[in-house]
Chains A and B, each alone.
Chain A
């Protein structure tokens, strides 16, 4: 069964203090791994798609990397506006016609000024 586990559940950082969020996954075949940002009461906002091990993508202070078993979201010199829940999701290539997303429970990030 496909499974996505994120750690830590919550993370509190000081402004400028870099860190990483982890997403471990188990799928029959990985079609894609996705990172989303979600603010309270709002819809998930797409950040990155990673397709194969070794791939990296960057956007402003965020960098996502992928291995065969996990993905990391590195946050460099975070600012208070980076505070949000970060969700990791996978698509299983063995899932037939569907491309449904299977989500982890997220990491709640709080960046204090």
Chain B
């Protein structure tokens, strides 16, 4: 069965640079959630989209922005990167009224 695709899988950036993370949902999934997981921590909700509209916003820094496109894929844009942004970034997708979220393999971002 098709799974959530995230790219790139690994990304190394320097402080103050920008990064773009991409998420491709499972076919027919129309809702995307972004989570950040620091070392040894649980995933923290950043932002979500339903039918290309932002549906909720969590602890996402103002330096970050995201959007969902007409094909339902989503991109997380991160600017002025800081050392503390180093983490695993997951997207999770779901469909309509389905409650469970299916996670992608994640993007490991390292800021040096």
Contacts and interface: CB of A to CB of B under 8 A. Distances in A.
A110 B20 CA distance: 35
B56 A87 contact: no
B88 A101 contact: no
Interface in B3-45: 4, 31, 33, 35, 41-45
B101 interface: yes
A44 interface: yes
A46 B43 contact: no
Nearest to A97: B55
Contacts of B50: 97
Nearest to A85: B42
Contacts of A105: 41-42
Contacts of B100: 32, 34, 46, 49
Interface residues of A, number: 25
Contacts of A104: 42
Q: Is the interface of B mostly helix, strand, loop or mixed?
A: strand
B90 A97 contact: no
Give the dominant DSSP class at A's interface. Answer: loop
Contact of B105 (A32, A42, A91, A102): A42
Interface in B70-112: 88, 90, 92, 94, 99-106, 108
16 contacts: A32-B99, A36-B103, A41-B108, A43-B106, A44-B43, A44-B92, A87-B42, A87-B43, A98-B55, A98-B56, A100-B58, A101-B45, A101-B92, A103-B43, A103-B44, A105-B42
Interface of B: 4, 31, 33, 35, 41-45, 48, 50, 55-56, 58, 88, 90, 92, 94, 99-106, 108
